[in-house]
Amino acid sequence: MASERKGGIPLYHQIFLVLRDEILSGQRPYDSPVPTEFEVGEQFGVSRITARRALDELALEGLVERRRRTGTRVIYRSPAKPIEADIDQAVESLIAFGRNTSVQVLEITRDLADPLIASRLQVAEGAGVIRAVRLRQFDDAPLGEITSWLPERFAKLADRSTLTNTPMLELLRGAGVKIGGAQQTIEARVADPNLAERLAIAPLAPVLRVERLVEDDANRPVLLTVANYRADRYRISLDLHTGSRIVPDIH
């Protein structure tokens, strides 16, 4: 980050948004250390004054506690409680949603799993994982940006043409994977300038962040997906009757 503003947003606030999202998503759990002013400055290419303002903003939001000798630590605890839903119905709804929207594949790479991805996919740190970034569209307008990670054994599924035309859950089922369960978290966020540009919305406009970890019938993670959807075009309906299901919808 070389300038003091991007998309009209001060640099320190852009850094705050990145670190805040890492905390709220659980990437930086309760009582974990936060980078020092020097480390933040090195990571984002900014001055220590800018880094200090970003960390101070985190403290003002009640997400971290800053102490002179012990450094800055996360004090945020997630209040989320899980709601159970029928996995088979949820998978069918997600596949149908995928078929009713179009996809542009932006990137497919083979990455080395960082500590967070390795933990979520239950692979060794530094192991090969497949990362796919897609832009989902509806009526020729951006709906959401989706980033997915797969264990390397599913590399043959990550074909640009295939991912353009077939939902990833359907590809996994076609490869013989029996979906046994999933954990999903839905949070309200604001779009940083880069995401806002890709989704054709204003910087700091609201988005719905959906994180989903899918497991097979042996409880092995097979897919991690993080999606950011435009809040003005996407919603999730929850049927609270017996056999509850979660249904994504476009409006």
Higher model confidence: residue 35 or residue 91?
A: 35
- Kindly report the number of other CB atoms within 10 A of residue 85's CB atom: 19
**Please, are residues 31 and 67 in contact by the beta-carbon 8 Å criterion?**
no
pTM to 2 decimal places: 0.67
Q: What is the spatial distance between Cα 65 and Cα 33, in angstroms, rounded to a whole number? A: 10
Instruction: Using alpha carbons, list the distances in angstroms from residue 196 to 2, 25, 46, 93, 204.
Output: 19, 19, 22, 27, 8
* pLDDT the model gives residue 7: 54
Average pLDDT over residues 217-224: 94
As a whole number of Å, the end-to-end CA separation of the chain is: 35
Please name the residue that has the structure tokens 């119905």.
Answer: 89
234 closest CA partner among 214, 249, 219, 212? 249
pLDDT tens digits, 110-155: 999 988 899 899 999 999 999 999 999 888 889 999 999 999 999 9
pLDDT tens digits, 167-194: 888 899 999 999 888 888 888 888 888 8
How many CA atoms lie less than 13 Å away from 225 in the CB half-sphere?
Answer: 22
